[in-house]
Amino acid sequence: MSVTNSIGGTVRELSLFRLRRSVILGIKSLWMHKLRSFLTALGIVFGVASVISMLAIGEGASYEAQQQIKELGSQNIILESVKPTNTTTAGEQERSLILEYGLTYKDISQIQSTVPGVQITVPSRNVKDFLWNKSNSVDGVAFGTVPWFPVMKNRDVIRGRFFTEMEMDDRSPVCVLTSSLSRNLFPLDEPIGKTVRMQTSYFRVVGIIEDDPAIAAAESELDGAGENSEGMEMMIPITTLEDHFGEVLFKYRSGSFEAEKVELHEVTARIEKPEQVMPAAQAIQHILERNHKDVDYKMTVPLDLLQRAERTKQIFNIVLGSIAAISLLVGGIGIMNIMLATVTERTREIGIRRALGAKKKDIVFQFLIETIILSGAGGLLGVGVGLAIPLLVSHFAEMVTIIQFWAPTLAFTISVAIGVLFGIYPAFRAADMNPVEALRHE
């Protein structure tokens, strides 16, 4: 025998090269049963993919809702006039030609003087009629409001400027067009400096403001089909509106005149601090209840909606998360089941390895590595599938999906953790075998 060796000088337990060899060995063992390994990993693939895609879909849905609410302004309270139903007392008794309803200047002054934290209010009132540029007309709205409207409503002035406080005080006949109105009324020429006519009044265009995002979104869903008076707004100082169109609005509808008297169509109140929003909303509710016999107004509190949306999102995420977690758990049980079968099947191999010097921890390590490879590979594949599903959902269902960077990381980590968790028991069962009996196993 000329072979000599140098055991002892080269003992480097659990070093990196050893890990590498264990991984290679694990892959070899799993490769011997390709189909079985693949099917076992499939459980984890689905689990991880469902965690990622469910989180992405849930996140996307709540993002959409929150975005819409945030457009309204989280520190705003929005009041709108609503035409009361026909069976109201006022309508029956008076049989008056003029229907009077909605928010009043009195409401506003009371709100501004009594509700704490109300910083600023944006009243608005509108008149619906045709808007004319020479012989070109659009069914639109004269929208009377205040100079701080763009700031409060987060609307950008695209070109020119918004009207000023001085112009409001002077009741100047100036107007700002929404971009869709400007496109329809002035398809070819530059609108700024031109005049727009409504009924018998003329208004000079000073600027273009972007469309209401909520209406713009609704329009795009309808693919812009049909001319809609909604969004076709000519914004003028509220004082100018009162001067030119009076308080009573006449409408000619299906052969009969209808007259309405509405002082204000919409009021937006901004509250100074976010924590004051909910108490202020309650105070405003009280004032309106006192001033109005009929419910001819509607109050929207974006913050309240936002909080509700947040809670819904949480519940949604918990439900989706638990479904995904259950599928991961099922995947883990599948892995454990297969590993237990593998351990039994490889009893003899375990016996051989023990006889040739493998310690218990070597056996534990070997089987644990195999389980981790299985679940880790499943996890990686699952991340791939999980990233693809939200894309498909976005594409075919036209839903917003958001993949947060931590979701795939978390899902993959969980899959490896499941490998460890469900691999421990089979690995220890393998290591605890009596070498003598393991060697005798057929």
Partner 1 sequence: MPDTESAFPESREKPAVASSEASRGEPVIELRGVEKHYQMGNFLVKALRGVDLKVFPGDYISILGPSGCGKSTMLNILGCLDQPSVGQYLLDGVDVSELPDDRLSSVRGKKLGFIFQSYNLIQQLTVLENIEVPLYYQGMSEKESREISVPLAEMVGLGKRLDHKPTELSGGQQQRVAIARALSNDPSVILADEATGNLDSKSGGDILEIFDQLNADGKTLIMITHDEGMADRTPRVLRLKDGEIAYDTNIHG
**DSSP-assigned letter for residue 75:** T
Instruction: Return the number of the residue (22 or 75) whose C-beta is nearest partner 1.
Output: 22
Instruction: Return the number of the residue (2 or 135) whose C-beta is nearest partner 1.
Output: 2
Would you count residue 90 as binding partner 1 (CB under 8 A)? no
Interface stretch with partner 1, choices 175-183, 360-368, 387-395, 406-414 (CB under 8 A): 360-368
Which residues fall within 8 angstroms of residue 312, CB to CB, at 6 or more apart? 62, 65
Query: Among residues 79, 172, 353, 375, which is the contact residue for partner 1, using CB under 8 A?
Result: 353
Instruction: Return the number of the residue (37 or 172) whose C-beta is nearest partner 1.
Output: 37
The residues pairing with 221 across neighbouring beta strands, listed in sequence order, are none
Query: Among residues 259, 315, 333, 436, which is the contact residue for partner 1, using CB under 8 A?
Result: 436
Minimum Å distance from CB 315 to partner 1?
A: 49
Query: Among residues 145, 219, 354, 408, which is the contact residue for partner 1, using CB under 8 A?
Result: 354
Instruction: Return the number of the residue (120 or 358) whose C-beta is nearest partner 1.
Output: 358
Instruction: Return the number of the residue (352 or 421) whose C-beta is nearest partner 1.
Output: 352
Q: Count of CB atoms within 10 A of residue 213's CB?
A: 15
Query: Among residues 361, 391, 392, 395, which is the contact residue for partner 1, using CB under 8 A?
Result: 361
Instruction: Return the number of the residue (6 or 93) whose C-beta is nearest partner 1.
Output: 6
Sign of CA dihedral 11, 15, 17, 21: positive
Q: For partner 1, what does the binding mask look like between residues 30 and 49, x meaning CB under 8 A? A: -xx-----------------
Residue 165 contacts residue 120 (beta carbons within 8 Å):
no
Residues from 12 through 31 that contact partner 1 (CB under 8 A): 12-13, 15, 17-18, 21, 25, 28-29, 31
**CA pair distance 176, 389, nearest whole angstrom:** 45
**DSSP-assigned letter for residue 312:** H
Query: Among residues 188, 222, 356, 397, which is the contact residue for partner 1, using CB under 8 A?
Result: 356
Q: Count of CB atoms within 10 A of residue 258's CB?
A: 13
Q: What are phi and psi of 137, to 5 degrees?
A: -130, 155
Distances (CA, A) of 25 to 12, 28, 31, 35: 18, 5, 10, 18
**CA pair distance 134, 382, nearest whole angstrom:** 63
For residue 304, which amino acid is it?
D
The residues binding partner 1 (CB under 8 A) are 1-7, 10-13, 15, 17-18, 21, 25, 28-29, 31-32, 348-349, 351-362, 435-436, 439
